Amino acid sequence: MQALQIFGDRDLRLTEVAPPPPPGPGEVQVRVRAVGLNFIDVWGFRGMAFAKRKLPLTVGAEAAGEVAALGEGVEGLAVGDPVALYGAMTCGRCRACREGRDNLCEEVGGVMGFHIDGFARERVTMPARLVVRVPAGVAPEQAACAPVAFGTVQHMLFDNARLEPGETVLVHAGGSGIGTTAIKMAKAIGCTVFTTVGDDAKGEKARRLGADHVINYRTERFEGEVRRLTKRRGVDVVFEHVGPETWNGSLLCLKRGGRLVTCGSTSGVSATMNLMQLFQQQYRITGSFGCRIENIRQSLDKMAAGMSPVIDTVLPLHAFAEGLARLESRQVFGKIIATL
């Protein structure tokens, strides 16, 4: 069968690999239909994987497909069911796993497509507990946005930042996959959304998604604009994933006791900050990585209820590298999906 593998820095190739073994007890074999591209793929592509990884490695951290075969003892799934796949090989036994805090697994085997083989292949055999059934009316290209894009945002905004209806939130990079999702999820509960974008065309699209205040960070200082628009009070929550370029500005946008939640740092990995500001303003800063399996179910339910992901491009699998180049150049609005 075909798989898309990385052989070295910026060297992706479509290759023939052996099909996975038939599913054992408690396992499911899935025919992969759609793979979501994420910034973690760009990091892997650039050769910036932090942990050891064996090359070649099958890429793809986020995917959906349908059940092709069931192992012994699997309940609640049938052959042909559409499914979305959890993107990390958790142990299923540790305390965090047992309590449903899957992304804090103490024995995690790695992130799919980054540390270990991912989903960009025709078939994959997975533990059934990492396979989530997709409700009716959600297409594979949409379901492929649930495990990372929607799941991450659901976890950041609601589990970590505890965003409440009526609060104010600043969403950075409102044209990105997670930015577009955050705007939609925050607006759906009646929040006032501020967002930053890199050009006016994206700003117009962000406004159409419901963003109340759109700031072009290339022409305006976003922190000044947010403070002006909130009458110097600041916002309740900042949704960060840019990093050093925006970090201190983001802190200046927070009201006293405000919460900043971050899941990424596309502009670099180190920033300095004023600790007096941190404790005097009583900020709460939370790191967030991935999501709980329950967040994927919540995300799919939101999609089934009409909150569709914003999809920038759907590409064939062999054009995955073009998709990564688009992500890297920030010339996207929403998600890029590869189909197979």
Binding footprint of Zn ion on the chain (CB under 5 A): 90-91, 94, 97, 105
The CA–CA distances, whole Å, from 111 to 53, 69, 256, 305 equal 11, 23, 36, 29
Give min distance, CB of 30 to Zn ion, in A: 21
- Give strand pairing partners of 260: 238, 285
Q: Which is nearer to Zn ion, 94 or 307 (CB)?
A: 94
- Give strand pairing partners of 126: 28
Q: Which is nearer to Zn ion, 51 or 275 (CB)?
A: 51
Q: Which is nearer to Zn ion, 1 or 94 (CB)?
A: 94
DSSP notation for 109-139: --BBTTTB--S-BSEEEEEGGGEEEPPTT--
Report d(CA 29, CA 79) in Å as an integer: 9
101 by Cβ neighbours in 10 Å (0-12 / 13-18 / 19+) ranks as middle
244 by Cβ neighbours in 10 Å (0-12 / 13-18 / 19+) ranks as middle
Give min distance, CB of 51 to Zn ion, in A: 17
Give min distance, CB of 106 to Zn ion, in A: 5
- 197-201: long-range pairs with CB below 8 Å, 24+: 197/173, 198/173, 198/330
Q: Which is nearer to Zn ion, 140 or 151 (CB)?
A: 151
Q: Which is nearer to Zn ion, 38 or 90 (CB)?
A: 90
Report d(CA 93, CA 80) in Å as an integer: 28
Give min distance, CB of 110 to Zn ion, in A: 12
Give min distance, CB of 99 to Zn ion, in A: 10
Report d(CA 210, CA 194) in Å as an integer: 10
Q: Which is nearer to Zn ion, 19 or 109 (CB)?
A: 109
Q: Which is nearer to Zn ion, 41 or 102 (CB)?
A: 102
Candidates 184, 165, 153, 176; CA nearest to 292 is: 153
Give min distance, CB of 112 to Zn ion, in A: 15
According to DSSP, residue 88 is labeled B
- 101-106: long-range pairs with CB below 8 Å, 24+: 101/292, 102/290, 102/291, 102/292, 102/293, 103/155, 103/289, 103/290, 103/291, 103/292
Give min distance, CB of 216 to Zn ion, in A: 43
Q: Which is nearer to Zn ion, 90 or 160 (CB)?
A: 90
| Strands of 57-58's sheet in order across | 11-16, 2-8, 57-58
Give min distance, CB of 296 to Zn ion, in A: 16
Give min distance, CB of 90 to Zn ion, in A: 5
Q: Which is nearer to Zn ion, 105 or 337 (CB)?
A: 105
Q: Quick one: residue 108, left, alpha or beta (phi over 0 = left, psi -120 to 50 = alpha)? A: beta
